[in-house]
Structure 1
C-alpha cells in the first residue's frame, strides 16, 4: 500500500535497511545481474567538444601565477568506449545536478555501471562531464575579481552544493531524511560512496543556454549520429539540442528530467519523427518536487505526438519494475532497467547497416 502515511519510515527502518544491504555478500548482490566474460573493446579514449577562449586580468591572486592571460572555458569533456564491430547506435550519457559522468560508471556498491553495460551490448558509449563540472573546467575570473577588489561581493557567482539531507528527498530515497520509501532499491549500505560523487554545481554561473547544449550538438555531428540520454538537471538539454540542430541526433532519452519542453511556450516541430523516451522510476507522485515535473512531461509527450512526434512516457512501476529511486542507473536493479532500455532502443533506433 503506497500512500503518505504508510510510506513514512523512521530512522530505525533506514538503519536496518542500510545494514542489511551493507552486509549482503557481494556475490549475492551482483551475480544475477553482471554479464560474464572479459570486456572486449575496439578502442577507448577522450576528447573535448565546445569551448571558447576568453582573456582576463583576474586569472590568479597568487604571486607565482600571472593574473593576465587567455583561458579556455565552457568546454565539455567526453570519454568513450567503442565495442568491436559496433552496429548499434552510439549513446551519449549526460549526468545531472551536482554530479559528474561518474553517475554512469561503477555503482556505489561496486556493480557494473551503464556505460560498461551498454558497451557490452554493442553500443558505442560516450560519457560526458557537463560544462563547468568534473573535468570540464570552470572559470575563476568572477571570484578573483572580487578578491582583488575589482568587483563587488554581490557579483560573486551562485555556486550550489547539495547537502546529504536535502538530496535524500530529491533523489527519492525517502520522503525526508532519513526515512525510506518501502521497497526502495537504492543501495543505502553504500550511500557513503554515493555522497563522495557529489560536486559543486556551477550551472547557474554559465551562459544561457548552458554551453553543454551546443557542445552536444557538435558531438552529435562529430559522431554522425547518437542517442542523447540525459538525467535530471540535464533532462532538458537534449530537447534544447534538437531545437538548436537536429543533425546527428538519432533519438532522445530523458531519464527523470527536471523539465520537459513546455507545449504552451515551446515549438514542437523539432521533435517531429524523432524517437523520444521520457522515463521515470517510482514514488514520483509522493514527492512534491517531482509530481509537477511528471505532469509537464506528460503534456509534452501528448503535444509532441499531436505534432507528428514519436514520443513515449514510461513509469517503471507500470511495466512491472518497482522500487526505483531518482538514481535508477545505480539502484540494485539498475541492469534490469538498462536491459529494458536497450530493448527500447533496438525497437526505436535502427542499428547501422
Structure 2
C-alpha cells in the first residue's frame, strides 16, 4: 500500500492582507501571512498491490460528483466495499480522490479558484440518487424494492463533499498523469467519474484497456468517422427507478447516444441494464446497494471475458 499525490502545479497568491489571529488554542495571536505559493490541481491516489495478482491490469476507481474515494471502501451500513472485493478477486487497485476532493485538498477562492464551491443537500441526494420519493421534507418513502440501505442514508450524507464547477480541464490533467503512472489499466468510474473515464479513453487510449461506467454522465462529444476510443472496451451499468427521475432519463439518453457512436465506430460498447437482466431495485450507487456483490460479479465476469 502506498499513497501518491498526482499532477498539479504551483500558483502564487499576492497582496492578501496580513492578519493577526490566534492559530494555536490559548497560544495568543500571531502574524498570519497567507501570501506565497500553493500546490493546485493535484489528485490523491491510494495504491494497493497484491503479491500475486491474477491480472496485469490494475483497476482504477474514480468516484462520482461531490464524493471521494471513500465510496469504494465500505458501504453506509458497514459492509465491505468494492475495493476489498476487487483485491480478493485478484486485481491490483488504485482508489482516487479527484482534484479538489477529499485528501487531494483544495485552494482558496477567488484568489486561485474563480468561484465558491457548490454543495449537495441530503434532500437533493435522496432525490437525485434515486433512493426514494419526494416529500415536503425531502424524504418520502424509499422506492419499492429499493436496494440501497436507506436506513443508513445518513451515513452516505456524511461522505459528501463540496465541489467546484468548471474544473474539468484541471481534473482531466490530473487523471491523465494518473494514467501515465499506472496504465495500462481498467478504469471503473461512477457517475461523474464514469464521464471522466470516457473522456480519458479518448485522450489516452493506449493507457486505458477498458472503461466500466457505473451510471456514467458527461460524455465526450460525438464523433464522425474514426473514433479515438473505439479500441477501448466500454461497459455501462444502469440501475433502476429511472421513471422517477426526468433528470436521469436525460443523462442516460446522452450516454446511450455516445455508446451507440462507439459501437458504430466498431468499438465494443456493452450495456448491463440490471432490471432487464433480472436484477431490479438498484439505486444510483450500485456499489453501495445491498446486492452490490452480485453486481460486481457481473462486472468481473465481463472483465474476465475481455482476456479470453
Cα 1:259–1:268 shift into 2, 3 Å:
farther
SS class of match (1:324): coil
Tell me whether 1:81 sits opposite 2:40 in the alignment: no
Cα 1:194–1:102 shift into 2, 3 Å:
same
- Residue from 180, 189, 193 that aligns with 2:151: 189
Please report the TM-score for the alignment, with normalisation by the length of structure 2: 0.89
Deviates more, 1:159-168 or 1:214-223: 214-223
The separation in 2 between residues aligned to 1:59 and 1:253, in whole angstroms, is 45
Q: Which residue of 2 aligns with 1:235?
A: 194
Q: Which residue of 2 aligns with 1:321?
A: 279
2:101 and 2:163 in contact (8 A); partners too:
yes
Cα deviations across residues 217-262 of structure 1 (Å, max 9, x unaligned)? 2222212311111111222111221222223111111111122234
Listed as ranges, the matches of 1:201-216 within 5 Å are: 201-202=163-164, 204=165, 206=167, 208-209=168-169, 211-216=170-175
Cα 1:268–1:159 shift into 2, 3 Å:
farther
Measured after TM superposition, the shift of residue 136 of structure 1 is 0.8
Q: Which residue of 2 aligns with 1:253?
A: 212
* Structure 2, gaps ≥5 residues long: 21-30
SS class of match (1:118): helix
Q: Which residue of 1 aligns with 2:28?
A: none
CA RMSD of aligned residues (A): 2.1
SS class of match (1:344): helix
Q: Which residue of 2 aligns with 1:126?
A: 94
The separation in 1 between residues aligned to 2:133 and 2:69, in whole angstroms, is 26
The separation in 2 between residues aligned to 1:80 and 1:180, in whole angstroms, is 36
Measured after TM superposition, the shift of residue 65 of structure 1 is 3.0
Cα deviations across residues 194-239 of structure 1 (Å, max 9, x unaligned)? 111111112x153x42x22222222222123111111112221112
SS class of match (1:70): strand
Between the two proteins, the alignment pairs up a number of residues equal to 293
Please report the TM-score for the alignment, with normalisation by the length of structure 1: 0.78
SS class of match (1:319): coil
* Structure 1, gaps ≥5 residues long: 1-43, 146-154
Cα 1:295–1:231 shift into 2, 3 Å:
same
Measured after TM superposition, the shift of residue 60 of structure 1 is 7.7
